Structure 1
Amino acid sequence: MAAETFFARWSRVKTEAEEQTVREAEAIAPSAEALPAEAPAASASAPTLEQVDSLTPESDFTPFIARGVDEAVRRAALKKLFADPRFNVMDGLDTYIDDYNKFEPLTPLMVAALNHAKNLIAREFAAEEDDEPKDEDL
């Protein structure tokens, strides 16, 4: 028997695992005759907007977010869930939580310092331009 490569072994093991899960699912799944009888019962017990009003933060929200639930009911249930103050806590990791629309005017001292720095830089640039040889000097 030739040595099995890594990829061949990996593929074989993966295929065997998938086949095993399919066999387990078939063993657990109900028979085909039971499914149509249960389908109307499941749709009859779908959550309604009236049931959303009775929810509390400690309630089980699982039926309200399951597949097949009306979108309006799902949104109302989630809105009720996230209205709880426990979900409205700042974690402190938000870097940009300040209100940058508030304008804080510069003090006269800061304006004077900025003007002084601007004048110093302008003088340095003027001095550098004077030190550079001109084309006429050559």
Structure 2
Amino acid sequence: MSEGFFNRWSRIKQSGEVALPDVEPHAGEANSAESDVSLVQNTELTEQENVTDQAVAETESLTDEDMPDIDTIDSRSDMSAFFSTGVSTELKRQALRKYFHQPEFNFRDPLDEYNLDYSQPKKLVAVVGEKVRGWAEQQLEDAMQQARDSLVDANADTQASTTDELLEAVGADRPEKTTQEETK
């Protein structure tokens, strides 16, 4: 059975068989290689400066007494000092609470669909239930009215046809309406 790509790669890597080909760079590639070396050196210097800055910050560990008053904190305040190792947890908590209670951080987007109050689902269900119940009652009333109307029409037709059949059986003509019936 053939050996899979990852198995072959793992075997070659472990045995150390991989050898890079010797290729001479072109003139343009030599300049880019030199710039790559200078970039790596600059990156190493920057990393060393960051390590030095961290070491200085750790030696100058700030305490609760070094922190600014909590009442002076606003949305533009630098909160990084409160994260020093010497600052108490309670002071950090109070500072962050004051910082994030600023109006700039308490804006709710009106287009955000999660801004609605879903904490009272029983009320929400009751409102929807009332709407559905009202709709169903209206549909029932409409259906009942249609049934009544069709029964009234059917009864009127049945009465008229029954009266005509009786008169025909008797052999009389249909009487004309009297003046009392006309006034009704």
Task: Please tell me the TM-score bracket, short chain as reference.
Answer: 0.3 to 0.5
Higher Cα radius of gyration: 2
Higher relative contact order, structure no. (Cα contacts within 8 Å, ≥ 6 residues apart): 1
Which structure shows the higher helix fraction?
2
TM (norm. structure 2) is 0.38
